[in-house]
Amino acid sequence: MVVSPRRMPVPQPSPARPRAALHYLRRRRVVGVALAGALPRPAGGQPDPRRPVRVLFGFTAGSTPDVIMRMLAEGVSERLGRPVLVENRPGAVGAIAAEAAARAAPDGSTLLLMPHSVLVLPALRRDLPFDPVADFVPVAGMAAAPLLLVADPALGLRSVADFLALARARGDRLAYGMSGLGASPHLAMALLARTAGIAPTPVAFRGDPEIFTALLSGQIGAAFVLAPTAVALVREGRLTGLGVTSGARLPALPEVPTMAESGLPAVTLASWWGLVAPRGTPELTVAHLEAAIRPALAAPGFAARLHATGAEVLDLGPAELGAFIGRERARLLTLFAELGLTPP
């Protein structure tokens, strides 16, 4: 809570003494200027405390990272003493939001919630107008989550083996949902298709909420979706959970086996998201932001709320996140090349 300083009454000069009043006002102005010069000012590199922090995100509202970031924003805002606003700019597998963030002023007022898909954009687009690594500086990690392979209950599937049998029988007549070329749902299905020798037809959507709508209406048969947003639908029986891409079963869905338990250890992966700032953001500004973000991630109850849905805190500082991004970029580009995912 910000408490406004108490306004002290200003002595009023007597109208009967105009010269004394003029002298009083002049003296007050000089003292005021002197005091203003003596007041502490924000250290160099500190963001302007009057402006909100915008966190740009390239996927739809209601998706897993969007929900987690909005949960986190409250704690970060309290520590920064300024509003933290999540701004969704969906499209082009995160490229629209990433380009806007790369071009923003490097003053700490704009951050990008970076998913792994932004790192592999150079493998998918030859005309990319920004560099996913060179045009940003890492600030802090945020979260990671596995994916669930879910299916329309009307199909009567009960396991990954059932899904593979259906996919082989239907061939390209079986449609699955994905949230853009190169995003984690597409990557997971590409890994499964290569490993199991199936070829379902992809149908692109802007995010998991639209994929759920298509699944629930029978427009598509199955999809890999981020676990936290699918848990409730599986529990309610509105979707069938077939397999999870994590190394262990989810506490929230202990009855759903891992893909490794289903005989597909190659389909083990997670989505992750980190916060980065435009290139040129001063180190002091980055440190100021990190000092608000990481304690908010470590706040009592926050990690527990994530874990209950299958997500985990990605607790990384700037240097650690930078090294992590470098390793992930190399790994993902190698994987994309193996899968034959190259620019058109």
User: Domain locations in the chain?
Assistant: 53-144+271-339, 146-244
Say whether 146-244 and 53-144+271-339 share the same fold: yes
Q: What is the pTM of this model?
A: 0.82
Q: Which residue has the higher pLDDT, 273 or 19?
A: 273
d(CA 30, CA 69): 47
Quick one: pLDDT at residue 309?
Answer: 82
- What's the CATH fold of domain 53-144+271-339? D-Maltodextrin-Binding Protein; domain 2 (3.40.190)
- Is the model's pLDDT at 31 over the cut of 50? no
Average pLDDT on 236-262 reads 96
Nearest residue to 131 (alpha-carbon basis) of 103, 155, 159, 166: 103
d(CA 174, CA 183): 20
pLDDT band at 343 (very low <50, low <70, confident <90, very high): low
d(CA 214, CA 203): 10
**Phi–psi pair at 88, nearest 5 degrees:** -85, 125
- Is the model's pLDDT at 288 over the cut of 90? yes
131-144 pLDDT tens trace: 999 999 999 999 99
Angle between helices 208-216 and 227-235 (to 10 degrees): 30
- Is the model's pLDDT at 1 over the cut of 60? no
- What's the CATH fold of domain 146-244? D-Maltodextrin-Binding Protein; domain 2 (3.40.190)
Sequence-distant (6+) residues with CB within 8 A of 126 are 343
173-202 pLDDT tens trace: 999 999 878 888 889 999 999 999 999 999
pLDDT band at 330 (very low <50, low <70, confident <90, very high): very high
CA–centroid distance for 33 within its chain: 45
Nearest residue to 318 (alpha-carbon basis) of 271, 272, 269, 284: 284
